Amino acid sequence: MAERKLKNIKLIMDNPGLSGSELYKQARVKGFGIKKTDFYEMFRTIRKLPEPTLEKKQLATPIKYRKPIKPIDEIDDLPIPKKDGTYGIVEIDVGDPERSFWIKYETKKSLKEQFNKLKSRYKFKIKEIIYHGFGTYREFIDKEFKNLLESVGINL
């Protein structure tokens, strides 16, 4: 185990330009990978980086496994996204541990339509509605492609 840690330290020291995830992938491919949390802890101490904030830790957790922000009584009480490219996420708990319904909505109309479709199709009784916050769509055009388009004379 100590041998693996030394190899990981050497890998991190020899590649100052690579990110933590790239280094972790390389370590695993080369056969001396260690537990992910241990690797990133080692990476942060070597590069003298701060611990991730609570917000970053929460964003790293998949939505399905995040702790709910607050239960809501009715669909009408849910906040509606105001910006383009944002959406709301709602979990509808029906009391069955193996089944819950998720709705991703952009407008009040789309929320009600999806909720009514679910209710008519599955005929469930709502135990609680859990609002999981807003998400945003990511831009699919990367910077390199944008720069290439601008060099040709196309502005987005």
The answer to the question of residue 34 being in a domain is yes
Whether residues 124 and 67 fall in one domain: yes
The structural domain count of the chain equals 2
User: Residue 131: what pLDDT?
Assistant: 86
User: Residue 33: what pLDDT?
Assistant: 84
The percentage of the chain sitting over the pLDDT mark of 70, rounded to a whole number, equals 94
Distance CA 142, CA 156 (A): 12
User: Residue 105: what pLDDT?
Assistant: 92
- In single-letter form, the type of residue at position 12 comes to I
Mean pLDDT for the chain? 85
Whether residues 40 and 76 fall in one domain: no
Long-range contacts of 95-102 (CB under 8 A, 24+ apart): 95/125, 95/127, 102/64
User: Residue 4: what pLDDT?
Assistant: 87
The answer to the question of residue 152 being in a domain is no
Distance CA 24, CA 12 (A): 9
Report whether pLDDT(71) > 60: no
Query: Domain span at residue 110?
Result: 57-136
User: Residue 67: what pLDDT?
Assistant: 66
Coil, strand, or helix at residue 92? strand
Whether residues 63 and 123 fall in one domain: yes
Whether residues 25 and 9 fall in one domain: yes
The answer to the question of residue 93 being in a domain is yes
